[in-house]
Amino acid sequence: MSVGDVKRAIDGATEMFRAWEEEYDIALSPSIHFTGGEPFLYRGMWDAVSYARAQGIGVAILTNGTLITAEDAARAAELRIMDIQVSLEGPPAVHDGIRGEGSFAAAVLGARLLARAGNTVSANMTLSRLNIGVIKETAAVARESGFSAMGLSRLVPCGTGEGLKNDMLAPEEIRSAFAMIPELSDASFEIASGDPLLRVLTGPPPKPDCRLALSGCSAGFSGITIISDGSVMPCRRMGIKIGNVLETPLREIWSTSDLLWQLRHRSSYQGKCGKCLYWPSCRGCRAVAYACSQAAGKPDIFADDPQCWLPQT
């Protein structure tokens, strides 16, 4: 997509948000997350980000941190980017073992440049067998390197991570990792996760007769992905295309896609997830479920999340 195409996509999102506010008398706080691949490789990134901010939309940037310059840091601060997330997979040796020699030093330099310019910078650690034993050490390194927070996410065996399926964690390992979050967090450094399975640890289940999604996995519910050719997907970690914003308005895709509506309804989920009391607030990670079912030769976006630790009901 050209910068003009990206701006038109932003216009489509803005129009959708404003229509919702007017038609349903609600106040929204919409955001656009620029990611990739690596967003700092896109020459028109700052032009697109500036355009989104001018529309009053919050912006976050997800990056590996290695290409950030002092000029980028200053621009981000000027535009008041709400969060810049830099991948941090562990202490130097672990991070470089996963992302390549020298990548830790480059990522930390980028994070420090951003922090010194006054930006909010968070680290993101993708949990796998390659780094499950160094969560505490990674949090300590992140604090020392100028990060103000750290997020924990799960490995999705798709794209460049497809060959790492055997490095995925067992359900109880995921549970133990998420249970460490309160212990590692404090007022000056927050550890968090947007993973839907965290709902199982942090609150009671919703009413059992609820048939529509209330929160949890963002696919088809609270987020949408537009990739570089304008194609729309329920999640950036799924290769399932449901339309294209260069051909169809985003609001039309959001409101008429059969797949998105199926993702929102409990009746689509026939296994353990569909029977679970936590379904309305969790639904499992659809990207993990889809990638693992695909690896098993039976691709199913509504498959059970294989890393859920709850027993079969």
Mean pLDDT per 10-residue interval, the chain, length 313 residues: 97 95 95 95 97 97 97 98 98 97 98 97 97 97 95 92 90 96 92 94 82 91 95 94 97 96 95 93 96 94 96 75
| pTM of structure | 0.94
d(CA 104, CA 64): 9
Residue 163: the pLDDT is 85
**Which tokens sit at 265?**
């309804």
The pLDDT score that the predictor gives to residue 242 is: 97
Please report the beta strands in 201-311, taking only residues with DSSP state E, as ranges in sequence order: 225-226, 231-233, 243-244
The pLDDT of residue 313: 63
Structure-block tokens of residue 191: 């550890």
Helix (H) or strand (E) holding 116: helix 103-116
Q: How far, in Å, are 130, 178, 201, 309 from residue 134 at the CA level?
A: 9, 14, 22, 22
Tell me the HSE value of 98 on the side-chain side, using a 13 A CA sphere: 23
- Residue 134: which residues within 8 A CB-CB, separation 6 or more? 90, 91, 94
* d(C-alpha 284, C-alpha 278), whole Å: 9
